[in-house]
Amino acid sequence: MAEAAAENGKRDVILKVNDLKMHFPLRQGLLQRRVGTIKAVDGVSFELGEQEVMGLVGESGCGKTTVGRALLRLYDPTEGEVLFHRADGSWVDVARISHSEMKDLRKEMRMIFQDPFSSLNPRLTVRDIIAEPLVIHGTVSGEAMTARVAELMEAVGLKPAYMGRYPHEFSGGQRQRIGVARTLALNPRLIVADEPVSALDVSVQAQVLNLLQKLKDDLRLTFIFISHDLSVVEHICDRIAVMYVGKLVELAPTDELLRNPRHPYTEALVSAVPPADPLIKMERIILEGDVPSPANPPAGCVFHPRCRYAQDKCREQEPPLVEIGQGHSARCHFAEELELQGVADVSLTST
């Protein structure tokens, strides 16, 4: 992935996210009065190159799934820009266009959901599930639709003869393949994959990851891959963005981030994943305390209550996200001074 990541600067940009915020009102009492704000996403910015796979990682509740949903307008962003480069060459702000314009844009921007069972309608056959986007957008009908469904099933490794079956007749991995086929129905250019393998067995995870990698190469797709598992992200992503309490705290090419983390939170995440080689010994960093509430984030650096390197400056001033190397940015006052632990010059997984 390092070579692909190094070429990112040469790629055409397909997505620009500027200061994206997604705040939810916090209400209490019988009258549901607003008593605060949950800052689920609080000022996220990045660019995504065409045919790039960018991983979005962090603990549960950090805001990574909310980012993915806001990018596709499943949530209406509170603030910020989500600029998408359409196939016709025009730029649109996903956060500002009308719902009718958004319907047309959904042909180019699609999502793979985390749970392959709850995301499929149990009352519909596989044919109807995969064909649903085609019906909604009126692209094909009749025998052409059945032929398209058969083509999509073959593309994801399923037998077209099974299109008359229902979701409960398939395994978890097969159900996720059905979800992938539905996502591909309208020939999208950008796919947000929300933890697409976290509900699957480890052996099946590798199969689905290899499928996504093949589809990405064959169909020239661009992915935002949301996950909490660095070993999974390392296998498929060109770059990794690390989130903590609604903020982007580090962004770098995959190999660079794993071997040379510049934020203490990233260092802790990397230390939690056992390397493939059992002879490699890494210090396991145990973070003390709990993740702060996005409804009441701490002053200064949001990570300082759990950071073993924190100083007075961290408690008083919020650090900006600054570039500290080629394509490597970190949100830490001491990013260029700290010597943090990364992985050795081997993959985290043996996949």
Q: For residue 10, what pLDDT is reported?
A: 56
Q: Which residues, in sequence order, are bridge partners of residue 25?
A: 37
Of the ranges 10-14, 132-136, 335-339, which one carries the lowest mean pLDDT score?
A: 10-14
Q: Give the SS3 label for residue 146.
A: helix
CA dihedral 229, 45, 5, 236 (to 10 degrees): 30
pLDDT at 136: 93
pLDDT value for 4: 43
The pLDDT assigned to 166 comes to: 96
* Per-residue pLDDT, 163: 96
Structure confidence by residue, pLDDT tens digits, 6-29: 444 457 999 999 999 999 999 998
Cα 93 to Cα 70: distance, rounded to the nearest angstrom: 12
State yes or no: pLDDT of 285 exceeds 80.
yes
* Percent residues over pLDDT 70 in the chain: 92
Q: Residue 88 pLDDT more than 60? A: yes
pLDDT digits (tens, 9 = 90+) for 46-67: 999 999 999 999 988 899 999 9
Predicted confidence at residue 278, as pLDDT, reads 66
**Bridge partner residues of 28 (DSSP):** 33
Question: Cα separations (Å) of 96 from 78, 93, 114, 119?
Answer: 11, 6, 27, 27
pLDDT at res. 8? 45
The Cα–Cα gap between 318 and 292 comes to: 15
pTM of the model: 0.89
* 345 pLDDT higher than 60: no
Maximum C-alpha span of the chain: 68
What is the rounded average pLDDT of the residues 78-97? Answer: 95
Tokens 């073959």 — which residue?
154
**Cβ neighbours around 197 below 10 Å, total:** 27
Q: What percent of the chain has pLDDT over 90?
A: 75
Instruction: State the Cα–Cα distance between residues 292 and 250, nearest whole angstrom.
Output: 18
Q: Phi-psi bin for 164: left (phi > 0), alpha (psi -120 to 50), beta?
A: alpha
Mean pLDDT on 29-37: 90
Round the average pLDDT of the chain to a whole number and report it. 90
Half-sphere exposure of 340 (CA within 13 A, CB side): 28
- Please provide the DSSP assignment of 192-255 as one string: EEESTTTTS-HHHHHHHHHHHHHHHHHHT-EEEEEES-HHHHHHH-SEEEEEETTEEEEEEEHH
What is the pLDDT at residue 280? 67
pLDDT, tens digit (0-9, with 9 covering 90-100), for 196-245? 988 788 888 889 999 999 999 999 999 999 998 888 898 899 999 999 99
Alpha helices, H only, the chain: 2-6, 64-71, 99-105, 126-137, 142-155, 172-184, 202-219, 230-236, 254-259, 264-271, 312-316
Q: What confidence score (pLDDT) does residue 29 get?
A: 87
Q: Model confidence at 279, in pLDDT bands (50, 70, 90)?
A: low
Note the pLDDT of residue 273: 78
